Amino acid sequence: MSSQTGIETPRAPASQRVVDRMRFRVGRWRAEPNPLWMREMRQMARMVRTPIVLMTLTLLVALLMAALGGTLSGRKSPAAVGSALFQVFFSLAYFVVTMVGPALAANSIASEREGKTWEAVLLTGIRPVEVARGKFLAAYTAVATYIVALAPAGAVPFLFGGVTPGEVFLAFVFLFLVALLAVAFGLAVSSKMQSLRGALVVTLLLALPLSAFVYVALGVGLSFPVHEQWHQVPRGGAVWLPTALVRADFGTEYVLLLVVAPLAAVALPAWLLYEITAANLLGPSDDRSSGLKRWYLVTSLALLALALVPIFTAARPRDRFAMALVAMCVYCLFAAFAAFLFAGEPLGPSRRVSARFATARAGPIRRFLGPGIVGAAALELVTGLVTIGALMAVAILTRPTSSWRDELVVYVLTAYVAGFFVFVVGLSAYLRARTQTPLVARVLLLAVLFGVSVVPWIMAAMFGVFGSGRSSALVSACASPFYVFYAVDRVRDDSAVTASLCASAAYAVLGVVFFARAVARVRVAMAEYGRYVAEGDRRLREEDLALATAAASAALPPAFEPTLEHGAEGAGQPAAPSEPGAEGVAADGEPDGEPRESGDGPA
């Protein structure tokens, strides 16, 4: 029974039928909702400013819509005005949701930390994922209130026509999905921040460009290829998906591109943000890695599957080929992001995680997906190289002609993508193995990637100015990953292709070397840590034995006392522990120093 609701919890389902089990679940959810959600709702209900803000916003948007409708109706047909108002309203609503959602969510966990209530919540034994869910539900409810408050203004386009009720309904559905992502994003940032002000500033600074980018790239940008596919969908409108869902012809492409792909585009980032939040809420000695690694594995496969859809649905052979090459580049970006994500991994499992694995009799796969930088790098390498190989095979199969040039383009691009990918993964593992905190590893990785991307072009420019020829000067830029596009473009130029392949091989070798060094470093550090833990346990065992012996001697006749006391003295004086940090490594595999900083997690 919940104290907050006062509702009696149903004890068990009436029967094993699905309906009864569902009824039981709903009843339980009603009786025992997430306690944090309930509390936040009570607090929110006492805030005076919320209804005022909501009313003002609704009023402003309604006035804007009315003014715009009035202005346009004199010059354009009612249907065009309705369509324009539809775009304007949902664009505005999109920006309201993507700004308000993260801001409200950023408020949640950081405010607990700043208000010093976080530890009290944590010590209740409530699981961090439940905390994340409660906070999410609270912020999502608040954002949903904003959307519902704006809904009457969204009905204004009906007055003019040009949009169907289905389009408006679907647009609202997608608005709720966008709100889900926006809140999850704010929560992920909030879970990392200690101060409320910091959380708000960082969230808004990130949310503003990100939402603008998504609006332009996935909204306005994608409307053009969608128009090419389905001419019923107008070009240039950012809110094209509801229109496409209502007006496009139903078929396989419809399901894959307009239903599955958008849902995946919401679900996969939402899952990532959830895992990041949960990892940040866990302690540094807990298993913060398994969830993220599961997400990476599933997302890799999903990306490969999603990449294949446009490749095989594109109308022209040349487009299919281009799509395959683009998919490879996009995957490379994803792999780089994963390298940054896993640069926060600990060196290996902590004592707590190892004990839990032992208790749960965890199998090799679960242990492999557990904490550890070597496991993370190996996972990245295996999935990455398999995916890149698969995309190469698809590109070869979809090449428009059987000419050697197209084939060479695929090989050059694949070689560079694979080589550079191995380099990035190896380097990130090595940097994490050598540095104290994930932040340092990530900053160094970013600096190196920026350096190898930009510096070769500066060198090429200098060679071009001072050297003899333009072509030979550009060869010196082959170390930059962007050089591969030049090489692909000049596939007839032997020097460009050779330089590109050489750079690919060099990056692959460097990556392998870095990875090997990281493995060696982790092995040494974990062995030291194991020895250190074993030594501590041995001392405590000896002390226990000495105490037990002393207790036994007290119970024995006096004639035995001298011998036993002597033994107890010897064992009862444990050697003073050596400086723990000087030789050993901390529980999360840190070699020395500050092993348990709050930011010492994978996320």
Partner 1 sequence: MTTPAIRVRHLWHRFGQFDVLRDVSFEVAPGEIYGFIGPNGAGKTTTIRIMATLLEPLAGRVEIDGIDVALEPDAVRRIIGYMPDHAGVYERVTVREYLEFFADAYRVHSLGVVDAVLELTDIVPLRDRLVAELSKGQKQRLGLARILLHDPKVLILDEPASDLDPRARIEIRDLLLDLRTLGKTILLSSHILTELSDVCTSVGILEQGHMVVSGPIGEIGERLATQRAAQASGLVPVPGAVPVAAPAPERRGLKLRVLGDPAAAAVALQGGPGIVDVAVAGAAVQVGYLGGDEKVAQIVRRLCECDVGVVGVEREQNELERIFLEATRRPS
- Residue 559 interacting with partner 1 (CB under 8 A): no
The site map against partner 1 for 341-370 (x = CB under 8 A) is ---------xxx--x---------------
- Residue 296 interacting with partner 1 (CB under 8 A): no
- Residue 594 interacting with partner 1 (CB under 8 A): yes
CB of 554 to partner 1, least distance (A): 11
N- to C-terminal Cα separation, the chain: 36
DSSP symbols for 19-35: HHHHHHHHHHHHHS--H
Q: Which tokens sit at 282?
A: 């866990």
- Residue 220 interacting with partner 1 (CB under 8 A): no
- Residue 563 interacting with partner 1 (CB under 8 A): no
Beta carbons within 10 angstroms of residue 470's beta carbon: 10
- Residue 539 interacting with partner 1 (CB under 8 A): yes
Beta carbons within 10 angstroms of residue 50's beta carbon: 14
Q: Which of 348/595 has CB closer to partner 1?
A: 595
Query: In angstroms, rounded to a whole number, what is the distance separating the alpha carbons of residues 101 and 141?
Result: 10
The site map against partner 1 for 19-58 (x = CB under 8 A) is -------------x--xx-xx--xx--xx-----------
Residues in contact with partner 1, counted by CB under 8 A, come to a total of 52
- Confirm if 500 and 483 have CB atoms less than 8 A apart: yes
Stretch that binds partner 1, among 4-12, 55-63, 80-88, 324-332 (CB under 8 A): 4-12
- Confirm if 243 and 237 have CB atoms less than 8 A apart: yes
CB of 358 to partner 1, least distance (A): 10
Stretch that binds partner 1, among 288-296, 308-316, 474-482, 583-591 (CB under 8 A): 583-591
DSSP reduced 3-state for 116: coil
- Residue 584 interacting with partner 1 (CB under 8 A): yes
Q: Which one of residues 18, 123, 315, 465 is an interface residue with partner 1 (CB under 8 A)?
A: 123
CB of 46 to partner 1, least distance (A): 5
- Which residue in 21, 160, 185, 175 sits closest to 97, CA to CA? 175
- 203-to-110, 182, 311, 458 alpha-carbon distances in Å: 11, 10, 36, 34
What number of CA atoms fall less than 13 Å from residue 194's CA on the CB side? Answer: 3
Q: Which tokens sit at 409?
A: 């383009």
The residue with tokens 């969830």 is 291
- Which residue in 426, 427, 476 sits closest to 455, CA to CA? 476
CB of 288 to partner 1, least distance (A): 14
CB of 193 to partner 1, least distance (A): 16
Q: Which one of residues 536, 567, 572, 599 is an interface residue with partner 1 (CB under 8 A)?
A: 536
Q: Which of 114/253 has CB closer to partner 1?
A: 114
- Residue 529 interacting with partner 1 (CB under 8 A): no
- Residue 555 interacting with partner 1 (CB under 8 A): no
The residue with tokens 């996969």 is 268
The site map against partner 1 for 131-170 (x = CB under 8 A) is ----------------------------------------
Stretch that binds partner 1, among 210-218, 439-447, 509-517, 584-592 (CB under 8 A): 584-592
Q: Compute φ and ψ for 2, nearest 5 degrees.
A: -95, 135
Residue 81 parent element (H or E): helix 78-114
Q: Compute φ and ψ for 116, nearest 5 degrees.
A: 60, 35
Buried b (16+ CB within 10 A) or exposed e, 139-165: bbebbbebbebbeebbebbeebebbee
> Would you tell me which residues interact with partner 1 (CB under 8 A)?
1-4, 6, 9, 32, 35-36, 38-39, 42-43, 46-47, 115-117, 119-126, 283-285, 350-352, 355, 532, 536, 539-540, 543, 551, 574, 576-577, 579-581, 584, 586-587, 593-596
